[in-house]
Amino acid sequence: MTAITVNVEEKLFQNRYRVDAGRPHIKIKDADICTNECGSKSCTFVCPASCYKTEGNGTVTLITDGCLECGSCRIICSEHMNVDWEYPRGGHGILFKFG
Amino acid sequence: MKKPSQFDAIVVGAGPSGNACAYTLAKAGLKVLQIERGEYPGSKNVQGAILYANALEQIIPDFRDDAPLERHIIEQRMWLLDETSFVGTHIRSEDYNKPPYNRYTILRAQFDKWFSAKVREAGALLICETTVNHLIMDGDQVVGVQCDRIQGDVYADVVILADGVNSTLARKAGFHGEIKSENVALAVKEILFMPEETIRQRFNIGEESGVVIEMVGRITDGMMGTGFLYTNKESLTIGVGCMLGDFKNNPNRTSPYALLEQMKRHPAIAPLIEGGEMKEYCAHLIPEGGFHAIPQIYGNGWMIVGDSGGFVNAVHREGSNLAMTTGRLAAETVINAKAASKGYRADSLKAYKTALDDSFVMKDLYKYRDMPKVLHKNPQFFTSYPDMVAQAARTMITVDGVDKKTKEREIFASFRKTRKLTGLVGDAYKLWKAIR
């Protein structure tokens, strides 16, 4: 399959969110583990909302605003268990209009 | 130390399993609290989505009178796709076009809201915008839940977990471990709006009838998974799902959204969705581990229903019907336990598992218990086979002066080249063994 570039932000723009400002429901436990011990960094391409990004220096950043709450990142980080995953506070996060 | 129970039962979650459970309990006169973390029931829920009538009929026989249903399905297409073509079957019957209809497309945000209204009519108390953080234990007995509200501790005789595929509560309480990436599929989908008239013309359907298309082949980039396209009233739902472990290990590092975008551009699909206006993009995990992945589903003061128990029949794309049935059977177990004053220890709630074993839920999951393993070990079912079939059909149908006997030989030679004779026979045997 030939790789294509997709602007996922454009897709997420259609969704309705109530962001819990300053209280992300998912956290990277130890940033050093992502940088130094994780070779695959699979969260950076498996996350369907592209919340995880690799920076030039090899670190991984996480912005949860567009999170679709699927839980994939928590499950695939099985070697390092470096994802601290909770549901958002009641009423916050993604609000599906159609589901 | 034990606080007095404020409710007979607490149901966590207002999806199909939680609603089926809370409805059945409330209808029987039990004092039920249902807790939903979304702004309204359905706002956190994602599904394909197909509703199978039978499971709901057993709970609300006259649901067709006012449930928000999109289209009843009169035609199912199964497509095998290679890079440029598709070969498929269409099953369409006028029998499917006569009431009572067997299955419908739905929009979950609307359907769950409707189902939840029925639950409240039956007498259950629903609290939305509330996330349950922990189960409250008294020794080895679940006695309530701790919510993210001030004074958010609530007590009940029994707690039913209908909190969906991620089921953090059962995991935190140590009832089962983390989900394995080979036991869940990650699916992404979009809803594309277009005029109703366009949908009717493109799919050759009437005002209320609909079509589902299930797809296997190159669209999943060698991963174990399927694509789907469903007709709603004024929109199409298009999506693709593959095993999460396959996404993680895919050497192409293909993103789910890239996979979906690629699928939308397939020449067999693009004309069907052309002009559709994308209004929502969703992602969801689907528990597809089947029989062997079902965790412990009952204990002292607790039961697990629906997706949180892994109740999905991946082979037949059934989920919401298993969810509703498990919810109903869990509720009936509680009702019986209360009537018999048997208490809510594991030995009493075990009746839930027995009822499930006797139902289609466990019978079907048991029948296909080896299917996930067989498919996973044999990726050719998602790559070489769709290619081979599509190519064979193309070769036979192309008229180019080559005689049919020669074409047959070419096709067979290419089959043998791709899969060898022992491989072909072996695959057929493995499949037969896994589904018999």
Confidence band, pLDDT 50/70/90 cuts, at residue A3? low
Distance from CA of A30 to the nearest CA of B (A): 20
Distance separating the N- and C-terminal Cα atoms of chain A = 29
Query: Are B178 and A99 in contact (CB < 8 Å)?
Result: no
> In CATH, what class is B7-68+105-178+292-368?
alpha beta
Instruction: Please judge whether A3 and B165 are an interchain contact, meaning their C-beta atoms are less than 8 angstroms apart.
Output: no
Residue B154, pLDDT score: 97
Chain A residues with CB under 8 Å of a chain B CB are 1, 3-6, 8, 11-12, 14-15, 18, 40, 42, 45-46, 48-50, 68-72, 74-76, 78, 85-91, 93-99
pLDDT computed for residue B290 by the predictor: 96
Can the peptide bond before residue B314 be classed as cis, meaning omega within 30 degrees of 0? no
Gap between the Cα atoms of B408 and B414, Å rounded: 10
| Beta bridge partner(s), residue B88 | B79
What does the pLDDT average to over B272-286? 98
In angstroms, the CA B228 to CA B226 distance is: 7
Average pLDDT over residues B300-317: 96
Q: Looking at CA atoms only, how far is residue B10 from chain A in angstroms?
A: 17
Q: Same topology for domains B7-68+105-178+292-368 and B182-287, yes or no?
A: no
Residues in chain A: 99
Of B383 and A60, the structure prediction assigns the larger pLDDT to A60
Q: Where are the domains of chain B?
A: 7-68+105-178+292-368, 182-287, 372-435
Contacts of B284 in chain A (CB under 8 A): 68, 70
State whether B109 and A98 contact (CB < 8 Å). yes
The sign one gets for the Cα dihedral B344, B346, B351, B357 is: positive
pLDDT at B336: 98
The more confident residue out of B101 and B424 is B101
Mean pLDDT within B357-382: 91
Q: Identify the residue whose tokens are 């583990």.
A: A33
Amino acid identity for residue B236 in this structure: L
Banded pLDDT at B380 (limits 50, 70, 90): confident
CB pairs under 8 A between A and B: 154
In the predicted structure, residue B384 carries a pLDDT above the cut 90: no
Asked whether the beta carbons of residue A46 and residue B179 sit closer than 8 angstroms, the reply is no
> Is the confidence at residue B279, as pLDDT, over 70?
yes
Find the angle CA(B182)-CA(B218)-CA(B267) to the nearest 5 degrees: 140
* Closest CA of chain B from A60, distance in Å: 16
Contacts of B279 in chain A (CB under 8 A): 14, 97-98
Tell me how close the Cα of B112 comes to any Cα of chain A, in angstroms. Answer: 10
- pLDDT score of A1 more than 60: no
| Residue B3, pLDDT score | 72
Domain membership of residue A1 (yes or no) is no
Inter-chain residue contact B285 with A72, CB threshold 8 Å? yes
Let me know if residue A2 belongs to a domain: no
Q: Provide the residue range defining the domain that includes A71.
A: 8-95
Residues of B in contact with A49 (CB under 8 A): 283
pLDDT-derived band at B390 (thresholds 50, 70, 90) equals: confident
The 8-class DSSP code of residue A16 comes to -
Q: Which residues of A touch B221 (CB under 8 A)?
A: 1
B91: Cβ contacts below 8 Å, ≥ 6 apart: B75, B76, B77, B78
Q: How confident is the model at residue A2 (pLDDT cuts 50, 70, 90)?
A: low
Q: Tell me the per-residue pLDDT of B65-93, one tens digit each, with 9 for 90 and over.
A: 999 999 999 999 999 999 999 999 999 99
Structure tokens at B69: 């249903």
Asked whether the beta carbons of residue A96 and residue B254 sit closer than 8 angstroms, the reply is no
Per-residue model confidence (pLDDT) at position B304: 98
pLDDT band (50, 70, 90) for residue B172: very high
Tell me if B46 and A99 make a contact (CB, 8 A cut-off).
yes
On chain B, the residues whose CB falls within 8 A of the CB of A90 are: 37, 128-131, 147-149
Class of domain B182-287 (CATH, top level): alpha beta
Look at chain A and report how many structural domains it folds into.
Answer: 1
Residue B15 with chain A: CB contacts under 8 Å: none
Least trusted range by pLDDT, from B56-60, B81-85, B265-269: B81-85
In a domain, A3, yes or no: no
> Which residue in A42, A43, A50, A70 has the most chain B C-beta atoms within 10 A of its own C-beta, making it the best mutation to test that interface?
A70
**Is the Cβ pair A46, B147 closer than 8 Å?**
no
Residues of B in contact with A67 (CB under 8 A): none
| For residue B25, pLDDT beyond 70 | yes
Question: Do residues B328 and B24 make contact, with C-beta atoms less than 8 angstroms apart?
Answer: yes
CB contact under 8 A, B38 and A91: yes
What ipTM was assigned to the predicted interfaces of this complex?
Answer: 0.97
Q: Minimum mean pLDDT among B46-50, B225-229, B342-346, B372-376: which range?
A: B372-376
Using one digit for the tens of pLDDT, what is the confidence trace for B176-235?
A: 999 999 999 999 999 999 999 999 999 999 999 999 999 999 999 999 999 999 999 999
Query: Roughly how many angstroms between the first and final C-alpha of chain B, as a whole number?
Result: 53
pLDDT of residue B389: 87
Verify whether the Cβ–Cβ distance A11 to B179 is below 8 Å: no
- Percent of chain B predicted with pLDDT > 70: 100
Q: Which tens digit of pLDDT belongs to each residue from B121-151?
A: 999 999 999 999 999 999 999 999 999 998 8
**What CATH number does the domain containing A21 carry?**
3.30.70.20
Q: In chain B, whose CA is at the least distance from the CA of A67?
A: B283
Cβ contacts (< 8 Å) between B282 and chain A: which residues?
A: 68, 96, 98-99
Reported as a single tens digit per residue, the pLDDT across A35-55 is 999 999 999 999 999 999 999
Q: What is the pLDDT of residue B282?
A: 98
pLDDT at B103: 96
Q: What is the pLDDT confidence band of residue B10, given thresholds at 50, 70 and 90?
A: very high
- What's the confidence (pLDDT) of residue B177? 95
Which of A87-91, A93-97, B5-9, B423-427 bottoms out in mean pLDDT, i.e. has the lowest?
B423-427
Residue B1 has pLDDT above 60, yes or no: no
Please indicate whether residue B249 or residue B381 has the higher confidence score (pLDDT).
B249
Binned at pLDDT 50, 70 and 90, residue B433 comes out as confident
- pLDDT band at B431, cuts 50/70/90? confident
Q: What is the pLDDT, as a whole number, of residue B377?
A: 83
